[in-house]
Amino acid sequence: MNLEDPPRSLPVVSFRLKLFAAIMIVVAAVTALTLYLAEQNAQEEVGRNVEREFRDALTALHEAREVRLTLLAERCRSLAKAVRIRAALEESSAEDLYTNAEIELRGILAGEPEPEPEAAGRTLRAKFFRFLDAQGTVITPGKIVGSGRADGALEAKLGMQGVSNRQEIGYLMVKSENGEETPCEIIATPIVATDTHEVIGAVVIGFPPLELTGPPGMEGLKSGIWVEGRLHLPALSPAAQGFGGAALARVVEQPERAERSLPVQIEGAPHLLLYQRLNPGSRFAAAFEVCLFPLTGSLARQRRFRIQILSAAALLLAGGLAVSHFISGRFSAPVAKLAEDSAANRAQRERAESALEITNQKLSSRNAELQQALADLKATQQHVIQQERLSALGQMASGIAHDFNNALVPILGFSQLLQLDPELLADTERTTRYLGVIQTAAQDAANVVGRLHQFYRVRDENESFAAVDLNRIAQQAIELTQPRWKDQAQSSGSTVEVVAELADLPPVAGDESALREALTNLIFNAVDALPNGGRITIRTRRAGVSAQIEVEDNGTGMSEEVRLRCLEPFYSTKGQRGTGLGLAMVFGMAQRHRGSLQVESELGKGTTFILTLPLHRANDLAIDEVSGVTRSRSLRILVVDDEPNVRELLSAALSADGHEVATAALGEEAFQRFKAGHFDLVVTDKAMPGMSGDQLAALIKKHSPPTPIILLTGFGQFLEKENIPFVDVLIAKPIDLLALRQAVATAHQGV
């Protein structure tokens, strides 16, 4: 028991006590029940035994009495048959009757010497006799004094109301010589006429009753006779006889009473009193045989037995006490532990439950909040998507402006350089190189515009790429970005070194300007990561069926979070300076080229972008391969464009290819010219004031179906040739002269 923690130990103590009490109650109950049953059993057994012994003894006595009575009755019958007695009766001669009877009863009457000495009370000797006439009246012996030894008082008792035709047994109290009244057994035997079988009288013989004494072992058995309302039991004191007689008198008045025994207290000792009608059906007064059996012996036995049982019970209880003590101790130990555990558990559980309850409430409120938030979020999402689209558009516009500005840098730079220093124009080689740079930049600027479309365009499965020299692209990108990494870096006081480590590579399949732009973006990104200067390394290498180009810087590097998110659109670490679209665009380009973009970065050590692109396969036709080769014969070409610069450029370019070129500014004018002259080919702008290029093409085809028509359009990316039925070749603006040459050749050959 933990004394420092009484509230917890109390239930355990009470449990132990309860267990102990419960076991004790069970044990006690079982013991009590067993004892009760055992004692009941024993008592019944003892009672049965006593009664059985008693009845056995009585039966033996009764048998003796029966035998005696039968004997006496037989004697009486033989007497009743005696001829002389009958004759005397017939003659109503009392003298003869009694004289003869004395003679006949010689062997029966008392006073005569016994044939063999018998115990007193077992005698068969008659004490008296009287004859009755047919009416039952006593025939007095008259002068024959002493005959039958019955006085007048006795005679008065012997009379019967009519003589029955069978033997009757009765009992009377007879006053003996010493004045003491003793019971007497009387047998009345009818005397029957031999011829008519008429009852002519009766003889009544009185015998001393058989004094019943118990057989060996039943010496306590006392027997007596209850007659004339009195109990005659010689073994008892007169007072006790009176008491027993009174007790019997109450009982024998109920003849139907089945119970033939009753317990009585005689002289302070319990006795069992049995009584039995001695003369059932007799015309004489009812007499009962009364037997008294002292119960002291059996009671003592019962007492002994009870003591035995009680001591056994005490032992059992003591044993039960010990066992239950042991059991309750054994059981309460784990229960004590259990109780402690369960108390702790309960506390925990209650805490947990309350916490759970709170949590649950929180959760449900949170859930509601979440629901609300979700709804809000959905609304917000719609809103944000809308915003994002707008923002993306703006961002893209600013990105495009940025890239466009980037592209304009060399154009403006070099063209200004040439204009500022006209002497340079004399240096043809240098001028040609500058012009090349300007052309490339302009080309890029044109492509930037196309990016609006390209950026979100899903990759076209059938899109085919031209074979591109990745090393050349890399060099171009380095050159293009030089103003940024060299000039701007220097102006901010830091030095950025760009190193190209270019391996020998087969061409990759790709969009040249897109690749250049992507590389440009990567270089700009690297420059941004080198605020304090550093080195940018650009590597190319072959990797199986792919080529790889790396842009590595030893700058600030990216955290893991940034690294994982850097390719997402609109994710920027540069604040207002960045659009968040640069790397996303690179990634989109890589995907479009069936390639991949890999980012390796370590914070403080630098970042490496690895762009992997598939190599170009041989069946991918490239415009470059046919360019220059396909130079068609001299043709008469009508050029239609409302823009004079474009018209001039086209005219110059086509003329340079040896074609004869006529121009028209508007559709109507062109159609007039076409009808007036003969043209092998018509090159027309699509969007023109008045008649559009489409209408013109339709007119011309109607007029001269074989004439091929090349349509120029600023919306080239959004159009398909099939949607413009009268056009043979579609060329998107800005016009690449090589593409134009190819288109002329294609259109003419197709004709």
Partner 1 sequence: MNFRYVLSGLFAFLFLPSGAGAQSVIEGRVELPKAQGPVVVNMRYSIITKGGVMQPDPPLAIVYLEGSVPKLTTPTTQQMGQKGLAFVPALLAVQVGTKVEFPNLDDTYHNIFSYSPTKRFDLGRYRPDEKPTPSQVFDKAGLVTLHCDIHEHMRALILVLETPYFTKSGTDGRYRLTGIPPGTYTLKAWLNSRTTLERRVEVKSGQNLQLDFP
Q: What is the DSSP letter of 214?
A: P
Pick from 193, 252, 626, 719 the residue near partner 1 by CB under 8 A.
193
Pick from 161, 178, 194, 619 the residue near partner 1 by CB under 8 A.
194
User: Could you tell me the smallest distance in angstroms from the CB atom of residue 277 to partner 1?
Assistant: 34
Concatenated DSSP letters of 554-620: -SS---HHHHHHTTSTT--SSGGG--S-HHHHHHHHHHHTT-EEEEEEETTTEEEEEEEEEBPPTTS
Beta strands in 34-114 (DSSP E): none
User: Could you tell me the smallest distance in angstroms from the CB atom of residue 158 to partner 1?
Assistant: 20
Contact 86, 193 (CB under 8 A): yes
Q: Cα separation of 199 and 207, whole Å? A: 23
Which span sits near partner 1 by CB under 8 A: 119-127, 192-200, 316-324, 387-395? 192-200
CA distances from 288 to 57, 209, 597 (A): 17, 12, 135
**Listing from the earlier edge strand, what are the strands of the sheet with 199-207?**
138-139, 128-133, 199-207, 181-192, 168-175
Pick from 196, 462, 491, 576 the residue near partner 1 by CB under 8 A.
196
Binding mask 337-376 for partner 1 (x = CB under 8 A): ----------------------------------------
Concatenated DSSP letters of 156-212: HHH--SS--SS-EEEEEEEE-TTS-EEEEEEEEEEEE-TTT--EEEEEEEEEPPP--
Which span sits near partner 1 by CB under 8 A: 62-70, 187-195, 418-426, 677-685? 187-195
Which span sits near partner 1 by CB under 8 A: 119-127, 176-184, 188-196, 540-548? 188-196
Nearer to partner 1, 96 or 469 (CB): 96
Which span sits near partner 1 by CB under 8 A: 190-198, 223-231, 304-312, 673-681? 190-198
204-243 binders of partner 1 (CB under 8 A): none
Nearer to partner 1, 93 or 692 (CB): 93
Which span sits near partner 1 by CB under 8 A: 155-163, 194-202, 378-386, 627-635? 194-202
Where do the H-state alpha helices sit in 457-542?
A: 470-482, 489-491, 512-528
User: Could you tell me the smallest distance in angstroms from the CB atom of residue 87 to partner 1?
Assistant: 4
Q: Cα separation of 176 and 150, whole Å? A: 10
Structure tokens that stand for 428 in this block: 């043809």
User: Could you tell me the smallest distance in angstroms from the CB atom of residue 196 to partner 1?
Assistant: 5
Pick from 64, 73, 110, 134 the residue near partner 1 by CB under 8 A.
134
Cis omega (within 30 of 0) for bond into 734: yes
Nearer to partner 1, 132 or 221 (CB): 132
Coarse DSSP helix, strand, coil percentages of the chain, rounded to the nearest 5 percent: 55, 20, 30
Nearest to 185 by CA among 125, 114, 245: 125
Nearer to partner 1, 84 or 472 (CB): 84
Q: Cα separation of 49 and 54, whole Å? A: 8
Nearer to partner 1, 93 or 482 (CB): 93
Q: Cα separation of 304 and 306, whole Å? A: 5
Cβ contacts of residue 400 below 8 Å, gap of 6+?
Answer: 448, 449, 451, 452
In angstroms and rounded to an integer, the radius of gyration of the C-alpha atoms of the chain is 76
Q: Does 200 bind partner 1 (CB under 8 A)?
A: yes
Nearest to 749 by CA among 708, 703, 712, 697: 708
User: Could you tell me the smallest distance in angstroms from the CB atom of residue 54 to partner 1?
Assistant: 46
User: Could you tell me the smallest distance in angstroms from the CB atom of residue 93 to partner 1?
Assistant: 5
Structure tokens that stand for 232 in this block: 């005659």
Nearer to partner 1, 96 or 736 (CB): 96
Contact 129, 206 (CB under 8 A): yes
User: Could you tell me the smallest distance in angstroms from the CB atom of residue 189 to partner 1?
Assistant: 15
Nearer to partner 1, 98 or 671 (CB): 98
User: Could you tell me the smallest distance in angstroms from the CB atom of residue 125 to partner 1?
Assistant: 25
Nearer to partner 1, 192 or 509 (CB): 192
**Listing from the earlier edge strand, what are the strands of the sheet with 269-277?**
230-232, 222-227, 287-294, 269-277, 261-266
Nearer to partner 1, 161 or 462 (CB): 161
User: Could you tell me the smallest distance in angstroms from the CB atom of residue 104 to partner 1?
Assistant: 11
User: Could you tell me the smallest distance in angstroms from the CB atom of residue 284 to partner 1?
Assistant: 25
Nearer to partner 1, 106 or 702 (CB): 106
Q: Cα separation of 520 and 505, whole Å? A: 20
Q: Does 568 bind partner 1 (CB under 8 A)?
A: no
Which span sits near partner 1 by CB under 8 A: 24-32, 196-204, 288-296, 412-420? 196-204
Nearer to partner 1, 71 or 87 (CB): 87
Nearest to 512 by CA among 457, 570, 453, 450: 450
Q: Cα separation of 640 and 90, whole Å? A: 193
Nearer to partner 1, 78 or 488 (CB): 78
CA distances from 137 to 2, 100, 130, 131, 154 (A): 105, 19, 10, 8, 13
Nearer to partner 1, 141 or 510 (CB): 141
Nearer to partner 1, 135 or 532 (CB): 135
Residue recorded with tokens 């072992």: 217
User: Could you tell me the smallest distance in angstroms from the CB atom of residue 155 to partner 1?
Assistant: 21
Nearer to partner 1, 97 or 205 (CB): 97
69-128 binders of partner 1 (CB under 8 A): 81, 83-84, 86-88, 90-93, 96
Cβ contacts of residue 309 below 8 Å, gap of 6+?
Answer: 35, 38, 39, 42
The amino acid at residue 20 is F
Q: What is the DSSP letter of 484?
A: I
144-173 binders of partner 1 (CB under 8 A): none
Nearer to partner 1, 82 or 529 (CB): 82
Which span sits near partner 1 by CB under 8 A: 193-201, 221-229, 467-475, 638-646? 193-201
Which span sits near partner 1 by CB under 8 A: 189-197, 345-353, 388-396, 407-415? 189-197
Q: Does 619 bind partner 1 (CB under 8 A)?
A: no
Pick from 5, 112, 151, 198 the residue near partner 1 by CB under 8 A.
198
Number of residues that bind partner 1 (CB under 8 A): 18
User: Could you tell me the smallest distance in angstroms from the CB atom of residue 143 to partner 1?
Assistant: 15
Q: Cα separation of 678 and 636, whole Å? A: 7
Q: Interface residues with partner 1 (CB under 8 A)?
A: 81, 83-84, 86-88, 90-93, 96, 134, 193-196, 198, 200
